[in-house]
Chain A
Amino acid sequence: MDILSQQLFNGLTIGSVYSLVALGLTLVYGILHIPNFAHGAMYMLGAYVTLTMMLLWGLHYWLAMAISVLVVGLLSVLMERLVFHPLRNAPPIHDKIAAIGILLFLEALAQLIWGADYRSMGTPYGEVINLFGLTVTMQRILINVGAVVVMLLLYLFLKKTMVGSTIIAMAQNREGAHLVGINTNKVAMLTFLISGGLAAIAASLAAPINLVFPGMGHLVILKAFVIIILGGMGSIPGAILGGYILGFSESLGATYLSNDYKDIIAFLLLVIILSFRPKGLFAREGF
């Protein structure tokens, strides 16, 4: 029982990180119908920028994270302007290849700047506490709480503000949004900004309990793709739900099935789902 609840908590923590990454991916997919393979690189950069800010300038964790969100978000916008915007009318295969090109470039860049070795990130919230009989670190609690807060803020932003609803409008119908006077270029840039920011938050939250290295985005982005297929491409609640489902199945699978093959669970899940539902579990258009 004790192991079970500990693993459930672990699943919740992993799931929170997955959900945040998948949210950024699903937002971009909803607007532009691009499977952004470079999103994993954004995740990796987010962790590195936070780490550098903390080590180099000795900034506080939160401040470093804020700068990271800004830097990665702006990089994301730059990517949209330079690459995806010129490709907006190209066949879908082109976007994917362009995104792969960006991914390869950013990984090599990270390796050039920060080296290939694994690094660990310190956190001011390292103390171990006892929570309802569970032994957890503050950082893990922070991940859970932080993820929920970010999701709530995102929800309020999308549903309650004018700017947020333009994103939803564009996801529903690009031409329609254009006709009613929404500046689709601005909305696309804004979406990429949010998406990059979400990746940076997820990475900065998760980095203290994992390691930071140039290839850290690989598995996360692959799993994020599994999640958004699970939850329906472009669907926001689907991304959140899918993230938690995957988190739980992984942590339980690692305990009760095999730790060696735990990474395979996500992909097997996807292979099974797509075998029966070729368009994803909750396939529907828009939000």
Chain B
Amino acid sequence: MAALLNRRTVISGFILLALVFPFLTKNSYVLHILTLAFIWMIAVYGLNLLAGYTGYLSLAHAGFFAIGAYSLGILTVKVGMNYWLAFLSSLIITCILGLLIGLIALRTKEHFFAIYTLCVGYIIYLVIDKWDGLTGGVRGLIGIPVPAGFGPLSFEKPLSQYYLILFFLLLTVLMVYRIVHSLSGRTFIAIRNSEELAKTLGIATMKNKLMVFVLSTLFAGLAGVLYASFIRFIGPDIGYITITFDLLMYLLVGGIGTLAGPIVGTLLIVWVSQSLQFLQDYRMLIFGPLLTLLIIFYPRGIIGAFYEWKIKRQEKKRMRALIKNHKDAEFPTANSVPDKKVKEG
């Protein structure tokens, strides 16, 4: 109970900090970067559901991000649709494309899935890049409107955009939290741990995988939509593989398959990138080896390492207490070690 309370206060503390943050800094650049980081986090949560909880490494994620962004751009700029209608339609378009691609992609497994999605991502990029009439080709789309206001609320200013995107981020986190702790979430984890076993238990793996794939593209699309109306300019580069690799790095550094991982990883890497700005294109000199070292030594990222440390500490404490209590009794056997490892998915 104490741990839960502790956790709850920590989470509310962070939300409060995010809410008052714009008043703590007068620097609009910092606010801009933070808002952008929030957008990436939403996309990383999508990737986390698929790669972290279900064990399917999708390398087409930037493609779905771009589909969301371009759907909004085309619907508002070229079709002239009402913003929120376009917003909703873009998400639906992304989900439908995700469903169609997922239907085929999920027939493949492991390496084949990674390579297949890598190629799908590349096709999406090429189509955006070459289909001049629809997407504007290499010139991109400009003049995407900011989100339309609701009554007294308007989203013209960066500050109001910050809160809008923060709202969607919190919504995403809440949804992912609910999903992961639901029966579906357990099912995804079962599929990750062993698909054959899950099948044997009577789990409809294809249905579940398809669901998680579409959900994951939904979050990528949502991030793309928000990105388009925040930056107000989109080019084909947002669908390129490097964006997928960036998202993957945020996820891995934070902790793949953990709830807090996407936030921690994105914040940390975005912050480090900002302070290493003089490196520009060479930042991969540091992040590339970091990614490799991380996966060798801390495969579950910062959050995973933290939980491991916590579990070890608790175990040690318990053992010490046991030894103290049973000084003359028999030594505790391996069976008495608490089975707490399964806690964080």
For window 99-144 of B, CB contacts with A under 8 Å fall at 104, 107-112, 114-116, 118-120, 122-123, 126-127, 130
Is the CB–CB distance between A104 and B291 below 8 Å?
yes
CA–CA, A272 and B284, complex, Å: 34
For window 265-279 of A, CB contacts with B under 8 Å fall at 266-268, 270-271, 274-275, 278-279
CA–CA, A254 and B344, complex, Å: 51
B302: interface (CB < 8 Å): no
Is the CB–CB distance between B119 and A267 below 8 Å?
yes
Give which listed residue, B112, B118, B122, B281, contacts A278 with CB less than 8 A. B112
B57: interface (CB < 8 Å): yes
Is the CB–CB distance between B284 and A97 below 8 Å?
no
CA–CA, A100 and B51, complex, Å: 15
B147: interface (CB < 8 Å): no
Contacts A35-B114, A97-B248, A108-B281 given: A90-B289 contact, CB under 8 Å? no
Contacts A274-B107, A274-B108 given: A97-B252 contact, CB under 8 Å? yes
A87: interface (CB < 8 Å): yes
Distance in Å from the Cβ of B113 to the closest Cβ of chain A? 9
Give which listed residue, A33, A101, A275, A279, contacts B295 with CB less than 8 A. A101
Please, what's the 1-or-0 string for A233-244, where 1 marks a CB less than 8 Å from any CB in chain B? 100000000000
Is the CB–CB distance between A225 and B115 below 8 Å?
yes
For window 286-316 of B, CB contacts with A under 8 Å fall at 287-292, 295-296, 299
Distance in Å from the Cβ of A167 to the closest Cβ of chain B? 20
Distance in Å from the Cβ of A165 to the closest Cβ of chain B? 26
A229 contact set on B, CB distance < 8 A: 112, 115
B118 contact set on A, CB distance < 8 A: 222, 225
Contacts A233-B111, A271-B104 given: A100-B122 contact, CB under 8 Å? no
A93 contact set on B, CB distance < 8 A: 51, 55, 57
Is the CB–CB distance between B288 and A108 below 8 Å?
yes
> Among the listed stretches A135-143, A178-186, A256-264, which one makes contact with chain B, having 4 or more residues with CB under 8 Å of it?
A256-264
For window 173-219 of A, CB contacts with B under 8 Å fall at 218
Contacts A96-B57, A278-B109 given: A270-B116 contact, CB under 8 Å? yes
> Among the listed stretches A9-17, A43-51, A109-117, A147-155, which one makes contact with chain B, having 4 or more residues with CB under 8 Å of it?
A109-117
Distance in Å from the Cβ of A151 to the closest Cβ of chain B? 23
Distance in Å from the Cβ of B285 to the closest Cβ of chain A? 5
Distance in Å from the Cβ of B324 to the closest Cβ of chain A? 37
B167: interface (CB < 8 Å): no
Distance in Å from the Cβ of A213 to the closest Cβ of chain B? 13
A94: interface (CB < 8 Å): yes
CA–CA, A104 and B104, complex, Å: 29
Distance in Å from the Cβ of B246 to the closest Cβ of chain A? 10
CA–CA, A106 and B248, complex, Å: 18
A222 contact set on B, CB distance < 8 A: 118-119, 122
For window 240-257 of B, CB contacts with A under 8 Å fall at 241, 245, 248, 252
A83 contact set on B, CB distance < 8 A: 292, 296
Distance in Å from the Cβ of B104 to the closest Cβ of chain A? 5
B21: interface (CB < 8 Å): no
B110 contact set on A, CB distance < 8 A: 92
Is the CB–CB distance between A96 and B114 below 8 Å?
yes
Nearest chain A residue, comparing its CB with the CB of B246: A104
CA–CA, A263 and B130, complex, Å: 11
B282: interface (CB < 8 Å): yes
Distance in Å from the Cβ of B259 to the closest Cβ of chain A? 19
B241 contact set on A, CB distance < 8 A: 218
B122 contact set on A, CB distance < 8 A: 222, 267
Is the CB–CB distance between B284 and A87 below 8 Å?
no
A87 contact set on B, CB distance < 8 A: 295-296
A80: interface (CB < 8 Å): no
A98: interface (CB < 8 Å): yes
Which residues does B use to contact A, with CB under 8 Å? 51, 55, 57, 104, 107-112, 114-116, 118-120, 122-123, 126-127, 130, 241, 245, 248, 252, 281-285, 287-292, 295-296, 299
A–B complex contacts, Cβ < 8 Å, 28 sampled? A35-B114, A35-B115, A87-B295, A87-B296, A90-B299, A91-B55, A93-B51, A97-B57, A97-B292, A98-B291, A101-B288, A101-B292, A104-B288, A105-B289, A105-B292, A106-B288, A108-B285, A225-B119, A260-B130, A261-B126, A261-B130, A264-B123, A266-B119, A267-B122, A267-B126, A274-B112, A274-B116, A278-B112
10 other A-B residue contacts (CB within 8 Å) besides A101-B288, A271-B120: A90-B299, A91-B55, A98-B291, A98-B295, A101-B287, A104-B288, A105-B288, A222-B118, A222-B119, A267-B119
Which residues does A use to contact B, with CB under 8 Å? 29, 33, 35, 83, 86-87, 90-94, 96-98, 100-109, 111-112, 116, 218, 222, 225-226, 229, 233, 260-261, 263-264, 266-268, 270-271, 274-275, 278-280
Closest 6 CB pairs of A and B: A105-B288, A101-B291, A101-B292, A108-B284, A104-B288, A278-B107
